[in-house]
Amino acid sequence: MSWLGVALLLAGAVFSHRYAWWRKAVDYRHPRILMYHMVSEHRPGARFNKLRVKPDRFEAQIRWLKENGWHFALMSELTDPALLPAKTVLLTFDDGFEDNYRNAHPILQKYGARATLYLVVDRFERDWSTAKKAHHDSGELMHEPKLSDAQVREMLASGCWELGGHTRTHANLARLDTPGKRDEITAGRELLQAQFGTAPSSFAYPFGIFDATDVRLAEQAGFATAVTTVEGIDTDILNRRFELKRVKISGKDNGLAFRLRLRTGVRGGRR
């Protein structure tokens, strides 16, 4: 075999592994929950650029969803998934970064899309990454601008957004005892309701870290659903209401990767 033939075979293998185009699609009757964090330009040398989806790419994703017949739903509508049409997508944004208002909000309005904002109550001057890994001490996320309460109110008033709980301080729940967990989960929900006049119906576990106690506390707090960071698409939502998978949208995804991830829920050759 020629060098050209070998090169073509290798390129085909890399392409196949990266995109897993051959994997069977999950039935489109099952809703896709997409996970975003930031919608902003990448920063040279930044650790968390994979959390930053560029604004033009985000708009291309929303436009593609709109043009291809996807229905935008809110997490509060997932309590009765049978009422949702096929090709339903639920956009979720974790944490409360200011670019959600500056960059994502106008795009949602432009295309009539909707999203759920999992908002940390005490979100200012905190480097959340260190709560998961102590060596992540760059301060990158601490210095990333966060949403003001006024911006959140404007977003909610537009009808494009609803509020979800994401603890009081973006705590690593695995490091807390039960009273500490309850303070983060239950008190966090109560504070959001008091600040914005709406009771969040869905919860997101910070870092995707949770155990059976966290699941129980989330339900006791009054949440109807909870999302994880486990990649995938659930086919039995009612029995997994407090451990829902999400489709991770990376700042490194191109258009093909995004569309294929909508089919299977996972990236590349992962199961």
Joined tokens for residue 57: 């790419």
**What average pLDDT is seen over the chain?**
90
Any residues with CB less than 8 A from the CB of 197 and at least 6 apart, and which?
none
Any residues with CB less than 8 A from the CB of 135 and at least 6 apart, and which?
none
Over the stretch 203-225, which tens digit does the pLDDT of each residue have?
A: 999 999 999 999 999 999 999 99
Neighbours of 20 (CB within 10 A): 19
- This prediction's pTM: 0.89
Does the structural domain 3-264 have CATH classification 3.40.50.11540?
no
What's the pLDDT at 261?
94
pLDDT above 60 for 149:
yes
Q: What percent of the chain has pLDDT over 70?
A: 88
| pLDDT tier for residue 268 given thresholds of 50, 70 and 90 | low
pLDDT above 70 for 112:
yes
Give the integer Cα–Cα distance in Å for 120 and 103.
19
Q: In this structure, are residues 170 and 131 in contact, taking their beta carbons and an 8 Å threshold?
A: yes
Q: In this structure, are residues 85 and 107 in contact, taking their beta carbons and an 8 Å threshold?
A: no
What's the pLDDT at 248?
97
Give the integer Cα–Cα distance in Å for 49 and 12.
27
**Helical segments of 98-148, H only:** 99, 105-111, 129-132, 140-143
Over the stretch 69-98, which tens digit does the pLDDT of each residue have?
A: 999 999 999 999 999 999 999 999 999 999
Q: 207: closest CA among 147, 120, 90?
A: 120
What residue segments make up the domains of the chain, in order of their start? 3-264
What's the pLDDT at 167?
98
**SS3 labels along 198-235:** CCCCEEECHHHCCCHHHHHHHHHCCCCEEEEEEECCCC
**Mean pLDDT (whole number) for 177-196:** 98
